[in-house]
Structure 1
């Protein structure tokens, strides 16, 4: 029976150039036996099995390493869902099945599966919660899609052998109607070169769809310096192939084309297609070479991103594939190339790469480049209406989007309704789930299928939202952290990683505070505002409501603090690099009140201002850049009790703010020597630590002499660092708009670059626009005059008068 069902599904899939799914539900060993029956019936030339088990006679992958399948295609892929069902792995398996192929899922009994806990659930059990606190909502929803979506066959396996197997659904979609309008349309002609095409006709004849033709035509602009191309597509649309065809055509014209991607396997399709065009014959994408030489001196070569960003040997054009997976800071370095193309996946099985559009596209448009954008929608490896693609998009919410602009335009922040988003409500209301999750996808640079499972099942996270006329206009994911017992805190202090407690983990293990995990915290993991309403105060209003609910607060905000910075949609708790299950959790079991609020994110000047105005204060700046955001990660804390009034949240902030102040005095010339000076200034301004300048008379002589007289900065660099730290922390503290700040923005950058980061005067002068190193140092002396006035002792002020009176 299994063999016949597999043959029927395969036959229908091949006829329609679609894919099919076969679910074998029941005992695991019986499932493997049935899977082998299905494989033998289909007799594929390529099969892959993803399982925690080993020893199969087919290609094997582990669930946590299923990304090895990205960029590859197989006729049959078997996913063992028993011991570790990882949503990310499911997405990668779906993406690896070719048109006409079969995805086989081995699952527990579908009725029982939502109650089963496996090793993936263990990763969601964030202390102090246990695996019994993890729910099965994601699987409940997933099972519903298996039983309702076209193209999915479901077999309940008998406990005593094949005789007890029962076909719940055969998954067949039925014969195609011969009389439909679609079927009467004659097949389109093969792609051909557009009029006046610059690339050879063979480049366009190698295209498989009209979308690819348009993309290759856009890539023609790379032959001229000053042009940039952005190619976006969902997975499986031939984006990399189009880039490869273009790379080959450019090389044939004599150009040196540098290709980069997160890993060579991501760009292997580029080289396979370029090789065919250059004339080295058809090359399999898995064995493609890393350098191709064209007859007239052109070439296509691959380098890893960090090396490629140096633009070695002055390439004529650069193609960045899977650009959304690279840090923005790294992407910006490619803007020094003569011409550049950025290819990125929008809704992919490896995660939605929206951060490219959010964080980088605006910077590209503001650059010197003339930018051409192209999108590919037509699938390459299977038919446009493939039911398995539609099922995967629904099951994993790969296509989740916020409410349409027209539905929320004109909403007033004061009229919005604050509400909880319990996971049961999200499970029972598909539109609510899609809008809330769609906002998170749109606001963040990388949202994966695992994130959907965390939202629905993990016990330490809750969600809150603002709605307008029933539509979600702002959403926040909030993770409970801390409140850990003494034994857990001891293990954390001694180096054990405690999942899901990002802020306590950093403060305890990295900053050596064993008591940091005792207070109860609530971390903003992400906060997102609908893009049509950014700048209208929705993010700030949502935070205010969260503070009032969980902190028992209701105080009025200070003048200038009501609306924050505007574009709240990018705010996110990012922190250090996360492991599986470490970032999210879920559940309405979050404590009603907490000791402090926190956030961790890739620090930018704008985000630092937003969170500072929301009452958060800096306690840490990571010593390495976050791999995803390309920024140093800031951790900020807002105690529930006001500073100075006691309470564990205030005590936590007080000691770590002081430690941050002291750490940065020296760290800025070491780990943070390359940090953006505006980020440094913003992080220090958001530090709540008190400052005191305690200089010796000798040091004051140097400081006053360099400011008001002929003294030299080099005579007492430590004194100048102390004054700089004090000024940057206290600057403008009296009012949020900066009134009373003794330094302007340029002077702050000068203090950071020269005094705190120890940069050479010449490079500082070039960066900040001073006419010479001497002018730069004179400006430094001028910047210290108001600091002497503010912090100077009687001795210092008398020394200042000596120079003033001598003029």
Structure 2
């Protein structure tokens, strides 16, 4: 452990060299790597290790930079520990951002560097006060904090006190995974943990409900749990992983204030796992834009379409802040995608020297000839190209795979400027940009709601496909809308629009006339008969005659 107690970041080029870079060897490291022989687990399993503590975490970034894993596991490293990132990506903007930000932190003159403080005794005065406040079971308490502030410890202490004074009072704890609630359960070992999907089926309303790492659960599930049980404690991390806790806090707090009685908001600020001014935490906040954005952007007003890597830092920070707060499932990986993927673009709307609106959009298609047939037959689904692959496969339209698309990924407007048609202005700008860049179609995909559908219809986006299966996160049917940008539409474009409208009516329980003669119906039925598509994915088509 370092004498200062500060945590440090180490960059290594190869997996066989990282141990040599540590000041002292350790056998307690957590190593994640997509090479089976190199680590304790693959990078995709990083969530399994949340709630644990390690003096050293090694993340193998040789093949890919998993920013979500980096952000999450940095919070498991104890005072004086090390985060080791292994890889070499000279052309990656996010990787170079990691290295330059750490280099800048290390160049602070010695006399100006913050001095490490002692780790506080637990519980801290702030924690003790909060535990007392949480004893009020008649209120709904929402506790937010950055990583390493001890919110799970506080929840566990509050539960333990309640159990001591009211041993017959039933309390159930849930979280995205049981491992996420490990600290809480250690502090309150007698409390019952139940997986959230099982709780939804049980509906035993007599229990007090506690949710740890709430941002990792779908918002609809939390709302349903609050209706089925007596909500008491809700806690989430507001930066770093499991979606964006900051965006979740905004959306859930708004819903809770409208639907629940006596909602109380609490926050924890003092770190307990590492000293105040810890350089690793400051590095993470700076590189992933997790702090509040600066007040002034580089422009006073107007529209700008560019790639994120070319934006001034203040403009990028303001834009990403809007995306994080508007879309609570946004994650650190999104920033890496925006910075590193050359097909990703961002359109900003400036007013009063700030970014008040942002539209993230991507170029998709045309796909390679050798991929088209396997995709149509359901044998391949390469990453990316969401619109051409969804329309090509689920609607059996090969032309979609050979079309140049622009897909609007996300759109957000600052709360102070909403309902002034700025979102429509952003879409109009993206539409003009897409035409200028030889795109043949502009589309988007979102969880269907009548309000959202009306907005996109107002902007000339027509229904293309609606999934008959609800999305796990939004509990909505995934819905595709698009508009054709050139003078010559595909042969099946208008039959496709007729099919999509009838499919949407069928899913909404208001079926219209039969479409048995529609060519889209016949193509989908043929795909099912040939074994390319499961019947469940073709339920509407199979219902038509």
TM-score bracket for this pair, using the shorter chain length: 0.7 to 0.9
Q: Which is higher, the Rg of structure 1 or of structure 2?
A: 1
Q: Contact 2:68–2:240 at 8 Å: present in 1 too?
A: no
Match of 2:8 in 1: 20
Cα–Cα, structure 1 residues 329 and 104, in superposed 2: closer, same or farther, change >3 Å? closer
**Equivalent-residue separation in structure 2 for 1:451 and 1:375 (angstroms):** 26
Match of 2:74 in 1: 94
Q: Contact 1:235–1:349 at 8 Å: present in 2 too?
A: no
TM (norm. structure 1) is 0.59
Match of 2:126 in 1: 211
1:598-638 per-position Cα deviation (integer Å, ceiling 9, x unaligned): 11112223222211211112222222222222322211112
Matches within 5 A, 1:430-579: 430-495=313-378, 496-551=380-435
Choose the corresponding residue for 1:69, options 49, 71, 79: 49
Q: What is the aligned residue count?
A: 511
**Equivalent-residue separation in structure 2 for 1:54 and 1:188 (angstroms):** 37
Matches within 5 A, 1:395-414: 395-399=287-291, 401-402=292-293, 404=295
User: Cα distance, 1:692 vs. partner?
Assistant: 6.4
Gapped regions of structure 1 (runs ≥ 5): 1-9, 116-135, 151-168, 191-206, 276-291, 293-299, 553-591, 670-679, 685-690, 695-755, 757-807
Cα–Cα, structure 1 residues 237 and 248, in superposed 2: closer, same or farther, change >3 Å? same
Choose the corresponding residue for 2:464, options 619, 628, 631: 619
User: Cα distance, 1:518 vs. partner?
Assistant: 2.4
**Equivalent-residue separation in structure 2 for 1:211 and 1:245 (angstroms):** 13
**Equivalent-residue separation in structure 1 for 2:421 and 2:207 (angstroms):** 45
Cα–Cα, structure 1 residues 610 and 269, in superposed 2: closer, same or farther, change >3 Å? same
User: Cα distance, 1:532 vs. partner?
Assistant: 1.9
**Equivalent-residue separation in structure 2 for 1:454 and 1:475 (angstroms):** 16
**Equivalent-residue separation in structure 2 for 1:55 and 1:549 (angstroms):** 47
Would you say 1:323 and 2:311 are equivalent positions? no
Would you say 1:83 and 2:63 are equivalent positions? yes
Q: Contact 1:32–1:106 at 8 Å: present in 2 too?
A: no
Would you say 1:48 and 2:24 are equivalent positions? no
**Equivalent-residue separation in structure 1 for 2:389 and 2:6 (angstroms):** 47
User: Cα distance, 1:653 vs. partner?
Assistant: 4.5
1:236-260 per-position Cα deviation (integer Å, ceiling 9, x unaligned): 1111111111122222212110111
SS for the counterpart of 1:385 is coil
Matches within 5 A, 1:121-270: 136-150=92-106, 207-222=122-137, 224=138, 227-252=139-164, 253-254=166-167, 255-270=169-184
**Equivalent-residue separation in structure 2 for 1:61 and 1:174 (angstroms):** 41
**Equivalent-residue separation in structure 1 for 2:35 and 2:467 (angstroms):** 38
SS for the counterpart of 1:661 is helix
Would you say 1:352 and 2:244 are equivalent positions? yes
Cα–Cα, structure 1 residues 628 and 188, in superposed 2: closer, same or farther, change >3 Å? closer
Cα–Cα, structure 1 residues 332 and 382, in superposed 2: closer, same or farther, change >3 Å? same
Match of 1:421 in 2: 306
Cα–Cα, structure 1 residues 595 and 189, in superposed 2: closer, same or farther, change >3 Å? closer
**Equivalent-residue separation in structure 1 for 2:84 and 2:385 (angstroms):** 36
Q: Contact 1:403–1:471 at 8 Å: present in 2 too?
A: no
Would you say 1:273 and 2:187 are equivalent positions? yes
Matches within 5 A, 1:627-638: 627-638=472-483
TM (norm. structure 2) is 0.85
State the Cα RMSD in Å.
Answer: 3.1
**Equivalent-residue separation in structure 2 for 1:340 and 1:69 (angstroms):** 26
Would you say 1:335 and 2:226 are equivalent positions? yes
Cα–Cα, structure 1 residues 175 and 443, in superposed 2: closer, same or farther, change >3 Å? closer
Match of 2:500 in 1: 660
User: Cα distance, 1:189 vs. partner?
Assistant: 9.4
Larger mean CA deviation between 210-219 and 68-77 belongs to 210-219
**Equivalent-residue separation in structure 1 for 2:120 and 2:400 (angstroms):** 67
User: Cα distance, 1:667 vs. partner?
Assistant: 4.6
Q: Contact 2:6–2:274 at 8 Å: present in 1 too?
A: yes
Q: Contact 1:516–1:652 at 8 Å: present in 2 too?
A: no
Q: Contact 1:418–1:466 at 8 Å: present in 2 too?
A: yes
User: Cα distance, 1:464 vs. partner?
Assistant: 0.9
**Equivalent-residue separation in structure 1 for 2:458 and 2:162 (angstroms):** 50
**Equivalent-residue separation in structure 1 for 2:187 and 2:503 (angstroms):** 52
Would you say 1:302 and 2:210 are equivalent positions? no
Cα–Cα, structure 1 residues 245 and 611, in superposed 2: closer, same or farther, change >3 Å? same
SS for the counterpart of 1:394 is helix
**Equivalent-residue separation in structure 1 for 2:260 and 2:10 (angstroms):** 52
**Equivalent-residue separation in structure 1 for 2:476 and 2:69 (angstroms):** 28
**Equivalent-residue separation in structure 2 for 1:469 and 1:365 (angstroms):** 31
**Equivalent-residue separation in structure 2 for 1:175 and 1:638 (angstroms):** 56
Cα–Cα, structure 1 residues 46 and 172, in superposed 2: closer, same or farther, change >3 Å? farther
Choose the corresponding residue for 1:32, options 11, 16, 34: 16
**Equivalent-residue separation in structure 2 for 1:51 and 1:481 (angstroms):** 30
User: Cα distance, 1:349 vs. partner?
Assistant: 4.1
**Equivalent-residue separation in structure 2 for 1:593 and 1:430 (angstroms):** 30
Q: Contact 2:61–2:86 at 8 Å: present in 1 too?
A: yes
SS for the counterpart of 2:105 is coil
**Equivalent-residue separation in structure 2 for 1:432 and 1:20 (angstroms):** 29
SS for the counterpart of 2:402 is coil
**Equivalent-residue separation in structure 2 for 1:519 and 1:105 (angstroms):** 39
Cα–Cα, structure 1 residues 522 and 390, in superposed 2: closer, same or farther, change >3 Å? same
Choose the corresponding residue for 2:454, options 609, 620, 632: 609
Cα–Cα, structure 1 residues 640 and 53, in superposed 2: closer, same or farther, change >3 Å? closer
Match of 1:687 in 2: none
SS for the counterpart of 1:474 is strand
Q: Contact 2:238–2:249 at 8 Å: present in 1 too?
A: no
Gapped regions of structure 2 (runs ≥ 5): 516-539, 541-545
**Equivalent-residue separation in structure 1 for 2:68 and 2:209 (angstroms):** 30
Give the number of the structure with larger relative contact order, counting CA–CA contacts within 8 Å between residues 6 or more apart.
Answer: 2
Would you say 1:647 and 2:492 are equivalent positions? no
Cα–Cα, structure 1 residues 508 and 450, in superposed 2: closer, same or farther, change >3 Å? same
SS for the counterpart of 1:77 is strand
SS for the counterpart of 2:460 is coil
Q: Contact 1:422–1:463 at 8 Å: present in 2 too?
A: yes
Choose the corresponding residue for 2:261, options 362, 369, 372: 369
User: Cα distance, 1:372 vs. partner?
Assistant: 0.6
SS for the counterpart of 2:73 is helix
Q: Contact 1:218–1:372 at 8 Å: present in 2 too?
A: no
Q: Contact 1:208–1:380 at 8 Å: present in 2 too?
A: no
SS for the counterpart of 2:78 is strand
